[in-house]
Structure 1
């Protein structure tokens, strides 16, 4: 999952927090283009930047029709100490969105990262303690956001990466080894979904996963693992409404529409909605030196992927941020291109200008 990108981190990136204002009118943004075909376009946002960087806020007002909080709804931010909830940053983001009639989706209730230290210790104390802290968190958070968030990533990244992946993982069967799995066994996913449904009967419950998009043996195996998990959940009557496909795409990994379309068709046969939840594009280490050539490759992948997803039934597409200025692809050393250049994997460049990726998304939304 992407690392936190904040204003404080900009000094490391060689950028100032100031940027030129975005002049594009909201009527011509990606959200409006997508909406014309019944599609929702949105992006991950940070409350501190929405309120502290005018260009950032202008870009989201112009381009996005849906927000997801990058960090404000994760456990470490919402409940940093047991029983002490801090909803102020999330409330600020929700208010900003509400003033602009933007829905917000929640991310994420159960995840193995962004866990405060106390939660890790509590889960290590055994099953009853784990159930208790999960229930208490769901009670508070779902009641607090009930009128403003109608879709949550209830469980995030439960499937283990198979051999051949960048970071293979072991777990119980094909599930990722996490504190939740160790405390509650494989049924922790069923339990989280049931707890969420009990607290809000009309909430859309989503399971969110990555590494399932591209045409590689490890992605094919992870798709198989995810489908097996989903079939088991549905057979057991676990409440599940949607699957989120993160789409942190990598140009060094091939993409073919056919296997991805077949996967989407299987999800739809199960009766599950499909969302693209965290899209960005990581360039290959041997990316061309020329910016136009690099942008053309990114745009080509963006169009191929999003058009396939839309044809397969996805109706929501979110990118993980809007501008390269604030992308985790700039800040995270494990994925950075190098000291003298950075990924161009979001629709807007560092100065908030629309790039060929923006045009590719617009063309996919328009169906052309």
Structure 2
């Protein structure tokens, strides 16, 4: 199915659904499968059994982060926040940064931003901005240019003759509306896909097909013109792991960022998404070196979509929580050693609302537990682990 097609976007209205679930029989069929704990998870579980995730509970995550010059926040969407006052209260307590998970994507139901070629619906995004300003929470814009969540009309309307005008108009309208009110924008999202076979590593997306590789630079320049005080971010996934695939992706991302910086492109930060999997090891030296290379370009580094899937962990909630907490602490201990890492955002705050419930469900049907708070909004070991990682992080100055 071609990227950008209406069928493609209806099926992938939320993140990378199909290729993230590919090969997971339970995800595709809903079958209940009893799995043994993978060896790497067994080893982690053994290590984490001897780790005490103990912290004082007096300070919220945002305050612990701020004490070290780090901005902490979470993704949430308008429907969740407006309908759930208990969640809203917890969000205000724990978070200093808000990411509207869907309302600023081009076409994500039930509140698509671009329902028609000449129509914008800012209802959700405007509500979220009012919420953030009322509660003194900064807001990030996610995302201006992406190969997914394109509307059904995109395939019928956009071509190599008008794509630049369409992108230009979109960024001018959206970034211009929120000029001076956003902490940052994910300007271009997930433009690298090494397996597509290009020497520059760029994903074969509709934007690349219609505009060529310079679409990335152009998107940043237009956004900087429309919202000159916001931090402009290139955001991508799969940069954390120790595999050859991740090695190649890190190399391509560095190549892209180096090229943009050499041309004076107004890019200010790399977004490392941080969708972690308990079965995929992180190579600490590779990750540290990569972050140092990004920092050497003069860029900040944001951890933008942090969560930990528990689909391969045993049913026992206490065991799952301990392993997930260990993965959070190990990852954050690595990345926060780099002083240019200035922002940490979890992709959700409570297990009550997580994209993993839909796209990475457990084969045994049990609710997933990937986030700092459980579905009853109680703090979990994951909260403790994140808190302790902030407490132990070296101080830095937010630029």
Query: What is the TM-score normalised by the length of structure 1?
Result: 0.87
Measured in 1, the distance between the counterparts of 2:13 and 2:177 equals 26
Measured in 2, the distance between the counterparts of 1:219 and 1:353 equals 34
- For residue 78 of structure 2, the aligned residue among 41, 47, 61 is 47
Runs (4+) of structure 1 moved beyond 6 Å? none
Give 1:222-237 correspondences, 5 Å limit: 222-237=249-264
CA deviation after TM superposition for structure 1 residue 277, in Å: 0.4
- For residue 155 of structure 1, the aligned residue among 160, 164, 188 is 188
Give SS of 1:274's match.
strand
Over the aligned positions, Cα root-mean-square deviation in angstroms equals: 1.9
Measured in 1, the distance between the counterparts of 2:315 and 2:80 equals 31
Aligned to 2:388: 363
Measured in 2, the distance between the counterparts of 1:72 and 1:267 equals 29
Gaps of 5+ in 1: 5-25, 163-168
Measured in 1, the distance between the counterparts of 2:136 and 2:249 equals 37
Gaps of 5+ in 2: 1-11, 16-56, 394-399
Give SS of 1:142's match.
helix
CA deviation after TM superposition for structure 1 residue 284, in Å: 5.0
CA-to-partner distance for each residue in 1:60-119, whole Å, 9 max, x for gaps?
112111001000111122222112111111000110111111110100000011111222
Aligned to 1:267: 294
Give 1:277-288 correspondences, 5 Å limit: 277-285=304-312, 287-288=313-314
Residues 279 and 318, structure 1, Cα contact 8 Å, conserved in 2 = yes
Aligned to 2:316: 290
Residues 346 and 357, structure 1, Cα contact 8 Å, conserved in 2 = yes
| Residue 3 (1) aligns with residue 21 (2) | no
Give 1:123-272 correspondences, 5 Å limit: 123=158, 125-126=159-160, 128-162=161-195, 169-170=196-197, 173-272=200-299
Give SS of 2:333's match.
helix
Measured in 2, the distance between the counterparts of 1:146 and 1:356 equals 38
Aligned to 1:310: 336
Residues 67 and 102, structure 1, Cα contact 8 Å, conserved in 2 = yes
Change in Cα spacing, 1:101 to 1:244, as seen in structure 2 (3 Å) is same
The one of the two structures with greater contact order (alpha-carbon pairs below 8 A, sep at least 6) is 2
Residues 207 and 240, structure 1, Cα contact 8 Å, conserved in 2 = yes
Give SS of 1:276's match.
strand
CA deviation after TM superposition for structure 1 residue 339, in Å: 4.2
Residues 64 and 391, structure 2, Cα contact 8 Å, conserved in 1 = yes
